[in-house]
Amino acid sequence: MMLLLLFLFVFVANGANTTDDKVVGGYILMERQMADGNPIGLKAMAALAAQASTIPINRLWVAFFSPDMVYKEGSNTLKNTGLHISNKTDGGYADLKKAIGLLQAGGVEVFLSMGGWNYNCWPYMYTRYSVGGYGTHTPNYWKIQQYGQGSLDNCKESNMWCYTCEPPSEKTSLKSFVIFPEPGNSDTFKQAMEYVKSHAQSPAPKFNTDIIPGKKYTDSKTGTELTVPGSSASSDAGRDPYADFVTLAKDLGAAGIDLDYEEFWHADYFRTGKGPWDLTQTAYKYAAIAQDTILNIKKIYPECKLSTAAGAVGAWSGKWWGGNMKGVWLKVFKDMPDVINFMAKGANAGGMNVMTYDLSSNEEFHECPEPGQCALDVQVKFYMNTYKTAGIPANVGYEIGTPAYPDPKHDPSHQLPLTADKLSAIISQTQSDLNGGFFWEIFKPADGKASPSDVAQAICNKLLAGDARCSGTFPTVG
């Protein structure tokens, strides 16, 4: 999911219809570029749809839609949804809907995913309060040293706040990023905030409906006036992007939707305490977004399933020293179990999908959960056990090829790629005890490691033994 982690972040990706169903799933990054410079999305979806009955997955996540999206019922367009995959007047809507129909007819459920790294990252906030908020001896501070001469004050929009969200090679601008809004004008979001307030423990929730994509916001800690990443179109029209997302899924005929929430900046900016800190405000924000989405599913599209991508550290209890999303999903589950259970159990369950990848073996920055226990398969088992201990049904995640974190150029020695032997170890040690597995991402280059087909077949053979699709492969596109 294009993660650039500070300390570490592992996702819980989406996956089970109920806790008894077996889910083998993969994400597709629709805007991944082919050799000709065009997005792979629609061409890849058509190729997958043509082989729907034989590809080695039974669920597909279409990534990524933007949290500031606008979609009106029956408008039949992807314009203003954040998914940039076609120059056609409908933004590729008709082609995407056709592919979704064919895939689902062939036994592959299709989910729409909102979020992803860029549609969560606020460069100014992430740099100042996550990367640079804990002194100079943190994993990603080298970016501030390299591009800002070691000073946070030298990180500005002109150098993308020292390239902590994305490297210079991505040629990003503020328009490349979005944050998850708190739509204060939405009746269902107001209901969601009241729900959270009525279930919350100490500290009391403090929502920030004044942080609006595309509008100005003043950092109270520095007095700096900022433009919030994203578009104000949804807010200006008095719309709720989470309701619009449900409506889009209904119109496209998708089986479900997915919340990929990774606002590290929010956890670090709104932390409380003196160290160890508390990130409960971020748990409250996530819970309100999820509850708003649930209310709109019940109102607009009752059969729609909901999944979420959760941090590997998301169910790990204990003290939080900043820089990741430790315990966020655990906090929500303790105070508001109905929110998590809607996604994890029952008719609407799309799965709690843990992205157990982009991990590091760098003990200098305490990036292993236990000293000397840094191997990928060992860490994956540890994090999945925290979800099991918490009582949260969850699915395990895998990543194809070279991890995004640690930086493959700056710190390749501490990367933990999914090699064939590590894939085998995770399948036998962890996947065998779970009902779902997923991977990022179907068309990501394998770089000599376990390929997308290798990973999907391994999960499939463990969970759906005897299913003919488990011997299938993915098509080559572009």
Kindly report, residue by residue over 158-198, the tens digit of the pLDDT: 999 999 999 999 999 999 999 999 999 999 999 999 999 99
**Tens digit of each residue's pLDDT, the chain (478 residues):** 443 333 333 333 333 333 348 999 999 999 999 988 899 999 999 999 999 999 999 999 999 999 999 999 999 999 999 999 999 999 999 999 999 999 999 999 999 999 999 999 999 999 999 999 999 999 999 999 999 999 999 999 999 999 999 999 999 999 999 999 999 999 999 999 999 999 999 999 999 999 999 999 999 999 999 999 999 999 999 999 999 999 999 999 999 999 999 999 999 999 999 999 999 999 999 999 999 999 999 999 999 999 999 999 999 999 999 999 999 999 999 999 999 999 999 999 999 999 999 999 999 999 999 999 999 999 999 999 999 999 999 999 999 999 999 999 999 999 999 999 999 999 999 999 999 999 999 999 999 999 999 999 999 999 999 999 999 999 999 7
Is the pTM higher than 0.75? Answer: yes
C-alpha distances in Å from residue 134, one per residue of 125, 275, 276: 13, 10, 12
Sign, CA dihedral 211-216-218-219, equals positive
Q: How far apart are CA 53 and CA 55, in angstroms?
A: 6
Kindly report, residue by residue over 307-341, the tens digit of the pLDDT: 999 999 999 999 999 999 999 999 999 999 999 99
Beta bridge partners of residue 59, listed in sequence order: 25, 109
C-alpha distances in Å from residue 467, one per residue of 23, 27, 57, 435, 459: 12, 21, 11, 15, 12
Say if residues 116 and 1 touch (Cβ distance below 8 Å).
yes
Take residue 82 and report the two structure tokens written for it.
Answer: 């954040």
Alpha carbon of residue 371 to chain centroid = 27
Take residue 97 and report the two structure tokens written for it.
Answer: 């809907």
Say if residues 67 and 74 touch (Cβ distance below 8 Å).
no
Does 73 sit behind a cis peptide bond, omega within 30 degrees of 0 on the bond before it? no
Kindly report, residue by residue over 394-408, the tens digit of the pLDDT: 999 999 999 999 999
- Measured at the CA of 285, the angle between CA 246 and CA 235, to 5 degrees, comes to 55
C-alpha distances in Å from residue 393, one per residue of 26, 316, 344, 376, 435: 19, 14, 6, 21, 9
Strands 216-218 and 109-115: unpaired
Tell the burial category of 285 from Cβ atoms under 10 Å away from its Cβ (0-12, 13-18, 19+): buried
Domain over 11-122+177-471 is classified CATH 3.20.20.80:
yes
The residue extents of the domains of the chain are: 11-122+177-471
